[in-house]
Amino acid sequence: MAGLQKEIWLDILMENFYPNDSFLSKSRDMSSFVEYNKLNLAEIGVDPNVLVDNTSYPIPISQRSDVPLELPLSTLDTENTLVRNVEEMESAYDKMASVVRQHQNSLRSKAAQLAAYNWAPSKQDAFNAVLAATGANGALSFSDIIKLAGFYDDMDAPKEGRVLVLCPKHRRDLMAEDMKLYKMIFTDGTLYDFQIFSFSKNPTYTSAGVRNAFGAAGNIASIAYHRDEVMRADGTVDMFSKLRDPEQRGDIVGFQKRFAALSIRKKHSGAIYSE
């Protein structure tokens, strides 16, 4: 019965782990490339050159050299939760199921935080944009998003698949600037070819536009990426339990999930930060 119970709780934990209203779902799922909690990929070689009106033969031949990559998945562990026997018996609801849902929410939030960090650019370069918000007192304005959209246009990034993840303050900034336009955005969920999401744990940036360390405080930011340029991958998920613990008079449970979220080519990402 303990093994069956574990399977039930794991099914509940992974049920709808990537809902459609989460930006995590807007990425390439590469879980099929995971073996033994390691992601097996290859860094592809250079693109072939294109000749225009060529008159010289034979046409040059080049061989693409790929570099194998083996990346271990991150390990996400939840802190354990104790459900005392008397609490379970006296509750009008299934407390253990509620506890499992809480662990699911915590794991999803941490996975989203890792994804937002790894999918955001580390700094401005030829393939990625990091912009400072230009509104009053560092507020995000619609013109800032237009500027970011222009960067994607200049890079010939496909319009289909552009994603913008607003931090809560930037969402409020847009609301304050133009409530009518703001309502139009969140009616269909798009703005200037970006599909719009909101997340409270985006990475932060320095005043020089450099991404801070994971989880570090700094200037808040909204991030952008193209869904075909980022990936996520799931490994094993497990439940650890101590059932009917004689000292605690209850069950102790915790969960572990292997997960990775990375930028595939470090291209077509963006960030707008507010000082």
What's the pLDDT tens digit per position in 222-271?
A: 999 999 999 999 999 999 988 888 888 888 899 999 999 999 989 999 99
Q: Which of 59-68, 153-162, 211-220, 258-267 has the lowest mean pLDDT?
A: 59-68
The 10 Å Cβ neighbour count of residue 192 is 18
Q: Is the dihedral of CA 116, 122, 127, 129 positive or negative?
A: positive
Instruction: Return d(Cα 127, Cα 166) in angstroms, integer.
Output: 21
Contact between residue 140 and residue 191 where contact means Cβ atoms under 8 Å apart? no
3-state SS string over 61-122? Answer: CCCCCCEEEEEECEEEECCCEEEEHHHHHHCCCCHHHHHHHHHHHHHHHHHHHHHHHHHCCC
CATH class as words, domain 1-275 = alpha beta
Per the rule left: phi > 0, alpha: psi between -120 and 50, beta: everything else, 146 is alpha
- pLDDT class of 37 with cuts at 50, 70, 90: very high
Structure tokens at 257: 């999930």
- pLDDT over 80 at 87, yes or no: no
Burial status of residue 242 (CB atoms within 10 A of its CB: 0-12, 13-18, 19 or more): middle
The pTM of this model reads: 0.85
Instruction: Return d(Cα 208, Cα 131) in angstroms, integer.
Output: 10
Amino acid of residue 46? V
Structure tokens at 211: 């991404």
Give pLDDT tens digits for 97-146. Answer: 889 999 999 999 999 999 999 999 999 999 999 999 999 999 999 999 99
